[in-house]
Amino acid sequence: MAKSDAVKDPAGKGKLKLILLMVLGLLLAVGISVGATWFFLHKAQSKPEDAAVASNVKAPAIFEPMAPAFVVNFNQNGRQRYMQVSITMLGRNQADLDALKVHMPVIRNNLVMLFSGQTFDSLATPIGQEMLRQKAFASVQEVAQKEVGKVVVEQLLFTNFVLQ
C-alpha cells in the first residue's frame, strides 16, 4: 500500500507541473497579445493626435474694419439722440472675409436697423453696450451662415462708441 501511494504522488506532481506550465504559457500568450494590441493601437492613435494638435493652433487674426462708421439717430423722450459706432470684424481666413464683403450691404442694413431700435438709457451702461455688441455679432453671424455657409467672423469689436 505504501508503494502504491508513492507511485501515485510522482504522477500527481507531474500532472500538476504540466497544468501549471500550461496556465503559465496561456497567461504569457494573453499578456503578449494584450501588449501587442495596445502597442499597435497606441501607435495608430498617436498620428491623429498630432494632427489634432496642429489643427487646434489658430491662424493669425485678421481685423477687417467696417467703414464708414455707423451713425444712427433715435428719439429719447422727444429729444433727438445720435450714436456713432465703429466696428471691426475679427476673422481667421481672408478668403472668407472677402466672400462676406460681397454681402456687406445686407449686414450694414441689419446693423443700422438694430442700432436705431435701441434706447439711450440701455446704451448708456457698459452692460447695455455689451448686449448690443452681442446682438450685432449674432446678426453678422446669421448673414454669414446664410450667405457664405459657414462661420466667418470670430468676434465683432466696437472700436469707437459715441452717444450724444
> Counting beta carbons within 10 angstroms of the beta carbon of residue 121, is it exposed (0 to 12), middle (13 to 18) or buried (19 or more)?
exposed
CA distance 101 to 140: 11
Q: Are 133 and 158 in contact (CB under 8 A)?
A: yes
Q: Computed over its alpha carbons, how large is the radius of gyration of the chain?
A: 36
| Same domain, yes or no: 44 and 76 | no
Per-residue pLDDT of the chain (164 residues; tens, 9 = 90+): 555 555 555 666 778 888 888 888 888 888 888 787 878 787 766 555 555 555 678 889 999 999 899 999 877 788 888 999 999 999 999 999 999 899 999 999 999 999 988 888 888 899 999 999 999 999 999 999 998 888 889 999 999 999 98
Q: Can you give the residue range of the structural domain that contains 142?
A: 62-163
- 33 and 108 share a domain? no
Task: Among 11, 27, 57, give the residue marking a domain's end.
Answer: 57
